[in-house]
Structure 1
């Protein structure tokens, strides 16, 4: 029994040494990151562990109020996007394509593409990698129980996940984040 306890103690010690070595190896690089990076990465890690899914942890997910139709949610989102001067640059009626290929009915799934193209241009001028985040996508999806949800990519990784963005660009990115969340929250309640 003493040998097993000593083995576990040794394993624990090695883990602590490994974590300390990792910290010292990367601490200089992490010091250059945005001050919001640590809390954002911690929140992401906790969400990944609690959901068991990186995909689930990397999105915002808002339930649509019971009784609202997808048409009402869509109308509200488009109204709010227009209020924020965000262009509706496309819609992907994914469930229609699935139905056409399957030859049978499928649950509702539609992706809405919203964009403030001037801010998008600023993001692209900063880094072409931001093109993967553009335009802002909001998905209206019916779950397997028939409930509607709004989902979108959590923008915090883009905003806080590395070296700080230039101040004006960060302010613009935070503005887009607020606007997308407003579109989603008001769409989920039907609040014009």
Structure 2
């Protein structure tokens, strides 16, 4: 009986030591993260738990104001982006393509590709993995019930989710973030 008690005590001691080591390591890792990391991950986790959908947790979306047509919002998005010096590097009329391939109309969906080339270059100089997130995308989508939505990537994870970006790069990224939010929110209102 003493052997079992001692073995269990040893296992408990090892588990406690392992937990303490893990706690110390986690604190060290978290100390290196951007000050906004905790809030960013908490917000994403909340959405993930609510929806069970990781895509929902990583995007911003806005429902388009009632009465605006797809073409109205298309023009608003393009005008807003141009007015804020985002380079239009392409658009994908994906809904039209799906309809053509299926031989019957499908929902409206257009994906806009925008970029600030100098900021993109600075992000890639910082980490080449950022190339996978370029260019910035905005999607104008008709949902299954005919309502229009605008979606874009939630840039907070890229800005605050890891180690703090160098000050100049963070300032540029926050500026692009503000532009994307403005296109999302004002585009949904049909503003130019």
TM-score normalised by the chain length of structure 2: 0.87
Alignment partners' CA distance in 1, 2:21 and 2:166? 31
Q: Which residue of 2 aligns with 1:90?
A: 90
Root mean square deviation of aligned Cα = 1.7
Q: Which residue of 2 aligns with 1:7?
A: none
Please, which runs of 5 or more residues in structure 1 have no aligned partner? 1-15
- Tell which structure's C-alpha radius of gyration is larger: 2
Deviation at 1:21, TM superposition (A): 6.2
Superposition pairs of residues 104-143 of structure 1, within 5 angstroms: 104-143=104-143
Deviations 1:165-184 (A, max 9, x none): 00000000000000011111
1:29 lines up with 2:29 in the alignment: yes
Deviation at 1:22, TM superposition (A): 4.5
Q: Which residue of 2 aligns with 1:10?
A: none
Deviation at 1:29, TM superposition (A): 1.1
Deviation at 1:70, TM superposition (A): 1.1
- How many residue pairs get matched? 177
Superposition pairs of residues 1-192 of structure 1, within 5 angstroms: 22-192=22-192
Deviations 1:105-141 (A, max 9, x none): 1000110011111111111111111111111100000
Alignment partners' CA distance in 2, 1:144 and 1:17? 54
Alignment partners' CA distance in 1, 2:117 and 2:46? 33
Please, which runs of 5 or more residues in structure 2 have no aligned partner? 1-15
Q: CA, structure 1 residues 80+19, in 2 after alignment: closer, same or farther (shift >3 Å)?
A: farther
Deviation at 1:71, TM superposition (A): 1.0
Deviation at 1:87, TM superposition (A): 0.9
Deviations 1:134-162 (A, max 9, x none): 11100000000100000011001100111
TM-score normalised by the chain length of structure 1: 0.87
Deviation at 1:48, TM superposition (A): 0.7
Q: CA, structure 1 residues 80+17, in 2 after alignment: closer, same or farther (shift >3 Å)?
A: farther
